[in-house]
A and B are shown apart, each in its own frame.
Chain A
Amino acid sequence: MRSVVEETAIQEKKTLGFWIYLMTDLILFASLFATFAVLRGQTAGGPGGHDLFDMPFVLLETMILLTSSFTVGLAILGSNRGYKKQTILWLIVTFVLGAAFLALELSEFSYLAAEGNSWQRSAFLSAFFTLVGTHGLHIAIGLLWLIIMVIRLVKFKFRQTDLNRLALFGLFWHFLDVVWIFIFSIVYLIGGMA
Chain B
Amino acid sequence: MKKPLLETRHDEVRYTSYVVGFILSVIATLIAYFFVVNHLWPKEMLMYVVLGIAVLQLIIQAVFFLHIGRGSRLKLVTFVFAIIIVLIIVVGSIWIMHNLDYNMMQMSPDQMNMYMHQHEGI
Indicate if A touches B (C-beta under 8 A).
Answer: yes
List A residues at the B interface (Cβ < 8 Å). Answer: 15-16, 19-20, 23, 26-27, 30-31, 33-35, 37-38, 41-42, 44, 55, 59, 62-63, 66-67, 69-70, 73-74, 77, 80-86, 171, 174-175, 177-178, 181-182, 184-186, 189-190, 192-194
| 11 pairs from A and B in contact (CB 8 Å cutoff) | A27-B82, A30-B89, A70-B18, A73-B22, A77-B11, A80-B11, A81-B6, A83-B2, A192-B36, A193-B43, A193-B47
Is the contact region of chain B dominated by helix, strand, or loop, or is it mixed?
helix
A33 to B51, CA, bound (A): 13
- Indicate if the CB atoms of A178 and B61 lie closer than 8 Å: yes
Contacts of A185 in B (CB 8 A): 32, 50-51, 53-54
Q: Interface range on chain B: under 10, 10 to 19, 20 to 34, or 35 or more?
A: 35 or more
Q: How far is the CB of A95 from chain B (nearest CB, A)?
A: 18
Quick one: closest A residue to B62, CB to CB? A178
B115 in the interface, Cβ–Cβ < 8 Å?
no
Contacts of A194 in B (CB 8 A): 43
Pick the residue among A30, A31, A77, A181 that contacts B54 (CB under 8 A). A181
A42 to B110, CA, bound (A): 8
Residue interface mask B62-75, A partner, CB < 8 A = 1: 10011000001011
A63 to B22, CA, bound (A): 10
A66 to B90, CA, bound (A): 25
A41 to B50, CA, bound (A): 19
Q: With A42-B108, A70-B18, A185-B50 in contact, is A23–B82 under 8 Å at CB?
A: yes
- Indicate if the CB atoms of B109 and A42 lie closer than 8 Å: yes
- Indicate if the CB atoms of B50 and A19 lie closer than 8 Å: no
A33 to B26, CA, bound (A): 23
- Indicate if the CB atoms of A171 and B66 lie closer than 8 Å: yes
B15 in the interface, Cβ–Cβ < 8 Å?
yes
Pick the residue among A30, A67, A83, A189 that contacts B86 (CB under 8 A). A30
A70 to B89, CA, bound (A): 30
Pick the residue among A67, A73, A81, A178 that contacts B7 (CB under 8 A). A81
- Indicate if the CB atoms of B65 and A181 lie closer than 8 Å: no
A62 to B50, CA, bound (A): 15
